[in-house]
Amino acid sequence: MLHVRRAVACCGALTVALLSFSVSARAAAPAVVSDAIAYLSSSPPQIGGTTPATGSGAWDDAPDFQFVTTEAVLAIAEAAQTGSSWSTGEALAAVEHTENPQGQNPLAFLDLVSAGSTTPGRAAKFLVLVAEPLGLDTSTLAATIGDPAPDGSFADDQFFTDTLFAALARDLLDGSVPAATVAYIESKQQAAGSWAYNADTTPATDPDIDTTGLAVQALIAGGVPQSDPAVQHALAWLAAQQNADGTWSFFGDPSAESTSRAVLAITAAGYDPNSRCWRDTVLPSATGQPFVGADAALESLAHPDGSISGPNVFSAAYATGQAVQGIERSWLPVARAADEACVVASAGPPVAPTPPVATPVPAVLAVPRFTG
């Protein structure tokens, strides 16, 4: 398993370092990513139709309800990487040079988000998406995350993703995830192989692609092997939900966000999301069916303005930020199983991506979850 090693931040927020982490190659056309970053850099800051105060330098209207900014910042940081090892210097410089019309970058806003990250879940999410990849000081965030509750969850587990982000954060900070947390995550897997946003395991609770993708990443970070039944069962469920055009859906429409979260889970488990091998290995019944790789699927959701999103999107900037992360696959996933060799015979070359269509996905329903 490959783990990201923590950046040393001993001299303040601007301390930078190189992390010994291989940046995976991406097959998507560079123009897709560069156009997406240009869109993020020029898109008006907004969420849910509201416009934040002029000069915030962020994509959200308040640091205590930030939703887009951390995702956009990580996308910008990932797109700025030029080498085979993660550079916090390149990441931070790219964010510093992303300015709104008033000449302000998001860093002052991010300072406020960091200061307001006073629960384990919020602190963990900020550490994973911003502080560690940019090489910022993480001491206060680490203290806030702390240790899990006796059942392995983290104290503010209002949403299951709080514990999942805490698991990733502990891996980044300590190189390991508490065994109780790994067991807690595994115990919340639904019979179908999925996870619900609220960790409910009852059949009546809708499974969630985004949460399932994050849960797989957390298990891999916790040392669970790719061959483990929990991981294989989750990947089989994800494979069964994939649309013919290579995307995954949210409320019945192709979703850049859900597609990128599924792609990161596949990558974390050591599979190539651009190869049909992963799908045919975890879901043999799909062998011979048409296949579209991850990059082509995400590219098919790109728009002329540079944004990447499906129809009826809640926030185009949020979708675009997560889409870039799914294409780049460099900082996320933070831990990866060893590359899995393809053992499934190919059923032919990938088919060309088709325009996004509203493909119904049975029993999958999710709503945005705001966790800081």
pLDDT at 353 over 70: no
Q: Is residue 367 in some structural domain?
A: no
> Could you read off the pLDDT of 191-227 as tens digits, one per residue?
999 999 999 998 878 899 999 999 999 999 999 999 9
> Could you read off the pLDDT of 44-62 as tens digits, one per residue?
554 433 444 445 789 988 8
pLDDT at 238 over 50: yes
pLDDT at 91 over 90: yes
Name the average pLDDT for the chain.
84
Helical spans, DSSP H, in the chain: 30-42, 69-79, 88-96, 107-115, 120-126, 132-134, 139-145, 160-174, 179-187, 209-221, 229-241, 256-268, 276-282, 294-299, 316-328
Q: Is residue 164 in some structural domain?
A: yes
Q: Look at residue 44 in the predicted model and tell me its pLDDT.
A: 57
Q: Is residue 181 in some structural domain?
A: yes
Q: Is residue 196 in some structural domain?
A: yes
Least confident piece of the model among 95-99, 100-104, 136-140: 100-104
Q: Which of 35, 7, 81 is nearest to 330 (CA)?
A: 81
Beta-carbon contacts of residue 227 (< 8 Å; ≥ 6 apart): none
* Residue 180 near residue 152, CB atoms below 8 Å: yes
pTM score: 0.84
Question: Residue range 318-347: average pLDDT?
Answer: 87
> How many Cβ atoms are within 10 Å of 347's Cβ, its own excluded?
13
Q: Is residue 167 in some structural domain?
A: yes
How does residue 28 score in pLDDT terms, banded at 50, 70 and 90?
A: low
Structural domain including 317 reads 19-336
CA–CA separation, 325 and 328 (whole Å): 5
Q: Is residue 365 in some structural domain?
A: no
Question: Residue range 116-144: average pLDDT?
Answer: 97
pLDDT at 346 over 50: no
Count up the domains in the chain and report the number: 1
Q: Is residue 304 in some structural domain?
A: yes
> What is the percent of the chain where pLDDT is above 70?
80
Q: Is residue 3 in some structural domain?
A: no
> Could you read off the pLDDT of 270-311 as tens digits, one per residue?
999 999 999 999 999 999 999 999 999 999 999 999 999 999
- CATH code of the domain containing 278: 1.50.10.20
Q: Look at residue 55 in the predicted model and tell me its pLDDT.
A: 55
How does residue 114 score in pLDDT terms, banded at 50, 70 and 90?
A: very high
> Could you read off the pLDDT of 356-366 as tens digits, one per residue?
433 333 333 33
Q: What phi and psi values does residue 343 have, to the nearest 5 degrees?
A: -120, 5
Q: Look at residue 371 in the predicted model and tell me its pLDDT.
A: 36
